[in-house]
Amino acid sequence: MERRRRLLLALVAVANAIEAPRSVAGAAQLRGARDVPGATTESETDYAAAAETDGAAAGPARAAAPPAPRATLGEVFAHTRGFVAATPSQQLLFALTFAFLVAQKALNVRVPFALQRAVDALGDGGDGSAAASRAVASYCLGRLGVSAAGELRSLCFSRVSQRCQRAFGAAVFGKAHAMDARWHANHPTGEVAVAFGRGTRGVASLLFLGVFSVVPTVLELVFSVGVLRRRFGSHGFGLVTLATFAAYAAWTASLLAQPMNFLGYTVSEIRQGLVDADAVVKLLRDAPAAADDAPPHAVPSPPEIAFSGVSASRDGFTLALKNATFTAPAGGVTLLVGASGSGKSTALRLVNGLDAAPTAGAVTVGGLALSAADARRATALVAQDTALFDDTVLYNAKYGNVLAPLDAAVAALAAAGAAHLDPRQRVGERRRERGAKLSGGEKQRVLAARALLRDAPVLLADEPTSALDAVSEARVLDALLGSGRTAVVVAHRLAAVAPRADNIAVFRDGTVVAEGKHDALLASCAEYARLWEAKSGSSEEGE
């Protein structure tokens, strides 16, 4: 009998020890939440502060803007609730998470009574009785049930949290892409990157704290009050017990130091999560300058592009285009020429939807006034700034068409004269930030390959061959302009593009002063003749 009693007591001790590792692991996991889902390192804080300083120095309009209100828990919940239960599987996992949470806390409230019955059975001389064995078994199973429900809750919630964080991050990333160039000019890249990283982690941290700290504590308190009221039969006994417990807790603060510290840590982490989510919530508050609520339009291929009395500003104050009118024929090549700052790049950005809608006039593609989203779907852009990612050549070439097969990407690189950068030979070779391992000409070839792989009905090119030699320039231009798409090109080396252009628009101070073909403009437009003579002379000297 004594041996059996010792065995039963050992089982009780083991059951009591089950929760200890979980408590330690839970505290460690919550501490890790700051490092993983809601972390804000000192370097990130410094980076964000530097970015905000740069942004404040960008112009008086930004510095004078009133500060936006801080994000609230309700606002964060409003932005994330659609991602938590976005699909039926997400809804099922979320429901299971709370079902296991309720089961865990309900069992946790019942376990002390099971322990009471086990101790009473063992203390009443029932060492070997079946009742004592059942009482100890009930207690052990209760503790195991609490642990099992907690583990299942963690398993379900981890998938919910990961999917929610991924979907929320994709939504924020898409929102940043939908903003126009003026918004990005007023929000430095460092500021946006820090807001994106901190915001998505902050949202995950708030979800974690809610499911693993706040909601469980509230549930356990409700269950405890309910059990006490039911057990002792007095409707006011539960509240009296709470007051007694609060007084006792204050008297024995040293014994309850760890739980109180844990509660304070939870409050601190919730505030930190709100701080981290604040920047990304402010991003979500901003509306794109061009509304994309209209249904998508089917753009004819190739389309005609027409500017009709267009005036536009890139900074909100100075007009970069003033009543500009010209036409890019369908399937042809249109060359935009003029001095630097005359409005050529602004015209390209209006077609692509990078800038806000013009302040006057209309830009039509295929006879349609496209939204920003439609314009971006219908165009491929070879920008003057060769922006590349810290990744492989293949990744950079496929950025415009991420679903393109490898063979198509290789063919596009070959057509752009970048066969020596074949990703099949250098699949794992990263090109460092912004393509630091590539020369200027190689960067432009990768951008040209990206545009070819996108295969959009409209090609927009802003100085696409400025870093290439004459032979490479001719090869890249043949690939870009010889496919039957509508092409609008800005170039200062006129000799390479002007003879093959179907239309040339001459810009001066934001206005189109002449339009026509190369030979006709040489005879009728003195400004174009001067540009041709100056650019041709500089090209010959360079060669």
**Sequence spans of domains, the chain:** 68-286, 305-537
Tell me the three state secondary structure of residue 499: helix
CA 331 to chain centre: 36
- Average pLDDT estimate for 157-161: 83
d(CA 191, CA 55): 8
Query: Is residue 175's pLDDT more than 50?
Result: yes
CA-based diameter of the chain, in Å?
119
pLDDT value of position 369? 86
pLDDT value of position 437? 72
d(CA 239, CA 225): 8
pLDDT value of position 362? 93
Helix, strand and coil content of the chain, in percent to the nearest 5, comes to 65, 10, 25
pLDDT value of position 235? 52
Question: CB under 8 Å to 110, separation ≥6 — which residues?
Answer: 142, 227
Partners of 505 in the β-ladder: 336, 515
Query: The domain 305-537 is classified under which CATH number: 3.40.50.300, 3.20.20.10, 3.90.45.10, 1.20.900.10?
Result: 3.40.50.300
- Average pLDDT estimate for 148-162: 86
pLDDT value of position 183? 78
What are the two backbone dihedrals, phi and then psi, of residue 486, each rounded to the nearest 5 degrees? -75, 120
Query: Is residue 447's pLDDT more than 80?
Result: yes
- Average pLDDT estimate for 174-202: 79
SS (H, E, C) 3-55: HHHHHHHHHHHHHHHHHHHHHHHHHHHHHHHHHCCCCCCHHHHHHHHHHHHHH
Query: Is residue 415's pLDDT more than 60?
Result: yes
- CA-nearest of 353, 348, 396 to 377 is 353
DSSP letter assigned to residue 302: S
d(CA 25, CA 101): 17
d(CA 177, CA 353): 11
d(CA 139, CA 128): 17
- Average pLDDT estimate for 250-279: 64
Query: Is residue 262's pLDDT more than 70?
Result: no
- CA-nearest of 456, 488, 494, 292 to 379 is 456
Query: Is residue 29's pLDDT more than 90?
Result: no
- Average pLDDT estimate for 445-464: 93
Angle between helices 440-454 and 406-415 (to 10 degrees): 130
User: What is the length of the chain?
Assistant: 543
The mean pLDDT value of the chain amounts to 76
Instruction: Give the confidence band of 467 by pLDDT, cuts at 50, 70, 90.
Output: confident
d(CA 274, CA 189): 22
CATH code of 68-286, in short, is 1.20.1560.10
Residue of higher predicted confidence among 171 and 343: 343
pLDDT tens column, 72-100: 767 776 767 777 767 788 888 888 888 88
Same fold, 68-286 and 305-537: no
pLDDT tens column, 363-385: 999 988 888 888 888 999 998 88
What are the two backbone dihedrals, phi and then psi, of residue 204, each rounded to the nearest 5 degrees? -65, -35
Strands (E), 426-495: 458-462, 486-490
pLDDT value of position 295? 60
Lowest mean pLDDT, pick from 281-285, 408-412, 433-437: 433-437
d(CA 421, CA 541): 31
pLDDT tens column, 296-349: 677 888 899 999 999 998 777 788 999 999 999 999 999 999 998 899 999 999
- Provide the token pair at 2: 């004594």
- Average pLDDT estimate for 133-161: 85
- Provide the token pair at 367: 């006879």
